[in-house]
Structure 1
Amino acid sequence: MTIEPTLTIAVLLPSRCNVNGDAENGAVLARRATARGLSVDLVLVDSVDALPETVHAVVLGSCDDPSLLDTLDELRPFHDALAAWLQRGVPVLAVANGWKLLGRRFELEPGEWIDGLSIIEGDAPLRMARASDDLVVVPTRGLELETPLLVGYENHARDFRPGTGVQTLGVTQHGRGNGDGTEGALVGPFVGTHLHGPVLAKNPELADRLLLQAIQLAGGTIMLDEAPALHRLDEIAANARDAVLASLG
């Protein structure tokens, strides 16, 4: 009998970066893994000293706008770990402000630009008006998803301008996204998005993409086949997605 390795999922700064429940994306990954009979260690990391020795997937939620600079300071010690994770192929999901802080720079106030961690290439300019609405995205082929739409909601004051080597997550069908008709950022194992919800709860196929990367990184052999325990989770996700799409006509 093959014994599958334990997956370690790290949720960074969950006390600060969870204003829209985005830190719970870690719990979604863990729940979908355990439903398949996998062993999971879900680690809440409030400081770099608390990082586990090995990490197979990373979640960073969104902070609120007034705490941007404080959150940036708390994230700086994670710079080397984040760079190493992406180099190793560790899937990293970052949402809204958490994602913007990992870019090259962001506009704090009109004309005042602050350097980010430069984990990915891209700038986050201020919007004329805050984007707060349902967000529906047609995923890029680079995601290799069968689902025709990614669904969630957005609530952000900054757009995103991808830099060199950054592919977008998809094209917006409803909502603002990056502000230019596209949404999100995709760089190797890194996924950045404005989708709240949490995004992985409403979009299980995206969750399973990240989960498969984590399993492969851990040296596991299990495939993401249909599991009976997932039926209820997928049903809830489908109902939530249908409700959003129905409300938009």
Structure 2
Amino acid sequence: MTTIAIASLLPTRLNANGDAENAAVLAVRARWRGHDASVIAANAPTELPEDVHAIVVGSCDDPSLAATLGALLPFRARLIAAVEAGVPIVAVANGWKLLTERVEMTRGEWVEGLGIVSGESPLRERRSSDDLVVDVLPDGQLPAGTRLVGYENHARDFTPGVGVAPLGRTVHGRGNGNGSEGAIVGAFIGTHLHGPVLAKNPVLADHVLAQALVLAGGAHDGAQVSDARLDALDAYAAHARDQIVASLSH
């Protein structure tokens, strides 16, 4: 049994689309495989444990964007240290955008983000609200051919900087605005996929969980142990993804 600590940053502020619950998804998948997993609601850097094995950053609505940026800034040093230590981080929509270098708050008004991810987040002409289907690229961290499904609801695109790879290419939806979706830097994943993304896409959840378990000293295949409850959940998620993709072809 491996013991892991999963931190959810500002879970009350950063849960506009249920994305803070990605932490609960990781914890349940770990526990049902026989591991010990705790979820820590971190509302200040002092509430982050010294040994944290995964971090979830959910999303906020646009009216609270400036206040949320102020609340996230004290976490900057800890987030940089986590990235350098290889801690898997899943950041969604506005929570992710606030971790970039620059964010366009209103037309022509830019503010500095936390600079955890190289790139910037410009405003779109119109908000993008639609199903989002993404195929993982062959050179990505996930198995080639992996299809991710979720819902996007964002007013900003993402322009990647140096060293930032996309999570995949968009099959349906806007994504980053350039035919790609998301951002990967080491163990950091940024995405527009709501759902929560880890509940709808178990392959991605287990990819993050495997990194967390290895970081905690566990086996590299600790996220692959079979469990009947997970099998049932994963079949349900697969059916939901298939239904979404099928509806888009009509």
Q: Per the shorter chain, which TM-score range?
A: over 0.9
Q: TM-score, normalised by structure 2?
A: 0.96
Question: TM-score normalised to the size of structure 1?
Answer: 0.96
1:197 alignment counterpart: 195
Question: For 2:40 and 2:145, how far apart are their aligned partners in 1?
Answer: 30
How is 1:1-249 mapped onto 2 (pairs within 5 angstroms)?
Answer: 4-141=1-138, 142-145=140-143, 147-221=145-219, 223=222, 224-249=224-249
- Deviation digits for residues 126-147 of structure 1, max 9, x if unmatched? 0011000000001123123255
Mapped partners of 1:231, 1:138: distance in 2: 23
C-alpha contact (below 8 Å) 1:147/1:205 kept by paired residues: no
What's the CA shift for 1:91? 0.1
Residue type of the alignment partner of 2:151: Y
Give CA deviations for 1:158-202 in whole Å, capped at 9, x if unaligned: 000000000011100000000011000000000000000000001
- Gaps of at least 5 residues in structure 1 are none
Q: Distance in 2 between matches of 1:5 and 1:139?
A: 29
* C-alpha spacing 1:167/1:204, structure 2 compared with 1 (3 Å): same
Counterpart of 2:8 in structure 1: which amino acid? V
Partner amino acid, structure 1, of 2:31 = T
Which stretches of structure 1, 4 residues or longer, exceed 3 Å deviation after superposition?
none
Greater shift in the superposed pair: 136-145 or 171-180: 136-145
Alpha-carbon distance between aligned partners in 2 of 1:77 and 1:48, rounded to the nearest angstrom? 7
Give the fraction of aligned pairs with identical amino acids, expressed as a percent. 57
Amino acid at match of 1:217: L
CA root-mean-square deviation: 1.1
- C-alpha displacement of 1:246: 1.8
Query: How many residues are aligned here?
Result: 246
Q: Which runs of 5+ in 2 are unaligned?
A: none
| SS of residue paired to 1:16 | coil
**Structure 2: distance between partners of 1:208 and 1:156:** 26
The range that moved more, 146-155 or 33-42, is 146-155
Letter in 2 for 1:36: R
